[in-house]
A and B are shown apart, each in its own frame.
Chain A
């Protein structure tokens, strides 16, 4: 079974530029999560989707971050404009439902210079 696919694997941008990350969850998984993992820290949840609806975006910096899952399958996370402190690994995870095990992708490493 294919795992959670994320692209790109690495991205370097200048501050104030915009960037987008893409996630394709495991087939059939209705729940999708985006996490931010700053170097040396544990992942922090940014947003949780159930199908194409947002369940929890309480920790998403909405002035610069946005995410969508229009058809309830793949998802994109966008940052506009990026700040230096956004440098992190952005992890996507998916699960069959909110009360089942979440599987993580390999992440996208973002460096803002």
Chain B
């Protein structure tokens, strides 16, 4: 059973566009929802994270929107740049943990110049 479902699998946008990546989760015990960015040959790096008592969080060009009742959260990248081309993973954790994570399958984003 996949506890964190991520979509789409891949995404192509033009420079300046706003890609949106969605995740849905099953377990209501999850209390930490991060997004990771991974470049080829590198490990994942934390981009932004949210807890369920907040509906939206912004850090620079990255925004998480969180819908607790729907058990869904999404990543928006404003003014996307070719350097944002990477694979993005949503994840979830419970019990206050920030490292014992259940990851989605990932979204490969390509930003065209």
Contact mask for chain A residues 87-98; partner B; CB cutoff 8 A; 1 contact, 0 none: 000010101001
CA of A97 to CA of B75, assembled, Å: 26
- Describe B's contact surface by its main secondary structure: loop
B-facing residues in A81-109 (Cβ within 8 Å) = 91, 93, 95, 98-107
Question: Is B14 an interface residue when CB atoms closer than 8 A count as contact?
Answer: no
B97 and A98 contact, CB distance less than 8 A: yes
Across the interface, which residues of A come within 8 angstroms of B105, CB to CB? 40-42
Residues of A within 8 A of B (CB): 4, 31, 33, 40-45, 48, 55-56, 91, 93, 95, 98-107
Across the interface, which residues of B come within 8 angstroms of A55, CB to CB? 100
A43 and B100 contact, CB distance less than 8 A: no
B99 and A106 contact, CB distance less than 8 A: no
Q: List 19 A-B contacts (CB under 8 A).
A: A33-B100, A42-B4, A42-B91, A42-B103, A42-B105, A42-B106, A43-B101, A45-B100, A48-B99, A55-B100, A91-B44, A98-B96, A98-B99, A102-B98, A102-B101, A103-B45, A104-B43, A105-B43, A107-B43
A-facing residues in B9-54 (Cβ within 8 Å) = 41-46
Across the interface, which residues of B come within 8 angstroms of A106, CB to CB? 41-43
**How many residues of B are in contact with the other chain, CB < 8 A?**
21
Partner of B89, one of A31, A42, A100, A107: A42
Known contacts A31-B99, A95-B99; A4 and B106 CB within 8 A of each other:
no
CA of A95 to CA of B92, assembled, Å: 16
A44 and B103 contact, CB distance less than 8 A: yes
A42 and B43 contact, CB distance less than 8 A: no
Across the interface, which residues of B come within 8 angstroms of A43, CB to CB? 44, 89, 101, 103
A93 and B43 contact, CB distance less than 8 A: yes
B43 and A4 contact, CB distance less than 8 A: yes
CA of A55 to CA of B106, assembled, Å: 26
A-facing residues in B48-106 (Cβ within 8 Å) = 89, 91, 96-106
